[in-house]
Amino acid sequence: MQIQALFFDLDGTLYPNGVGIWNAISEKMNIFMNQELGIPIDQVPNVREGFFHKYGTTLRGLQNHYDIDPADYLNYVHNIPVNEILKPDNRLRNLLVQDKSRKWILTNSDRDHSGRVLEALGIRDQFEGIVDVWATDFKPKPAPHFFETAMRTAGLSDPNSIIFFDDISKNVLGGKEFGFVSVYVGEGTIAEGIDHQIMTIHDFQKIKKDVLSPSE
């Protein structure tokens, strides 16, 4: 099997969940919804939970239920000290440099935040491009529209030739349904239907070597 490209989610995939980025963004989301939209603070978690399950992201829910400017929201919630939280990952950088596959970022966040994260990790130059919520009309992963946009943007046509890494089960399952070789990145028990798991992104080449080309 020929692998044409590697598609990587950003947050929680290229660095471990739990380092504090998500908590910082999440806190900003709560404050935005309370202060800018007037949602009582004790109701915010429930509203967000509902949006996440129904629409895939809090932003998509807010767009459907409140008259918000996505740029305002994205700037607000991503205004966090990424550089203080994330440090350069030289090991990951070396692995990416060694791997000659084409590489893209597919993120439900935005390109400015993605750029800051990649910069902080020291791997920004290792990716051909970023497919974000602006590029996909705010239809987040796992919508087929998102994956189609990514394929078109990267100039690729065969989903079976792409390995897709993500730390959210429903994105991994959506990617699999779309035709990607889809990999869950993270520890713990994986959801039913997920075929591949790596504990850390540093193992991304294992999928290529062990599963796709066992003779190599």
DSSP state of 79: -
Name the 3-class secondary structure at 45.
Answer: helix
Rounded to whole angstroms, the Cα distance separating 116 from 179 reads: 30
CB of 14 vs Mg ion, minimal distance in Å: 9
SS3 3: coil
Min CB(168)–Mg ion separation in Å: 5
| Least distance CB 58 / Mg ion (angstroms) | 14
DSSP-based three-state secondary structure for 97:
helix
Q: Please say which residue, 39 or 104, places its beta carbon nearer to Mg ion.
A: 104
Segments in 66-143 forming alpha helices (H): 70-77, 82-85, 90-98, 111-121
Which residue number has the CB closest to Mg ion? 12
Q: Supply the minimum distance, in Å, between the C-beta of residue 195 and Mg ion.
A: 18
Contacting residue, 11, 89, 110, 132, with Mg ion by CB under 5 A: 11
Site string for Mg ion, 120-149 (x = CB under 5 A): ------------------------------
Q: Give 201's contacts (C-beta < 8 A, 6+ positions apart).
A: 8, 13, 14, 15, 92, 165, 185
Please, which residue, 65 or 129, has the CB nearer to Mg ion? 129
In angstroms, give the least distance from the CB of 140 to Mg ion: 11
Query: Phi and psi for 210 in degrees, rounded to 5?
Result: -80, -35
Q: Which of 5, 8, 9, 184 binds Mg ion (CB under 5 A)?
A: 9
Pick the binder of Mg ion from 5, 8, 12, 201 (CB under 5 A).
12
Give the helix ranges, DSSP H, for the chain: 21-31, 44-55, 58-65, 70-77, 82-85, 90-98, 111-121, 144-154, 169-178, 204-206
Q: Nearer to Mg ion by C-beta: 15 or 73?
A: 15
Note whether 167 binds Mg ion by CB under 5 A: yes
CA distance 166 to 104: 12
Residue with Cβ nearer Mg ion (11 or 89): 11
Candidates 8-16, 45-53, 74-82, 87-95; binding stretch for Mg ion (CB under 5 A): 8-16
Chain positions contacting Mg ion, by CB under 5 A: 9, 11-12, 167
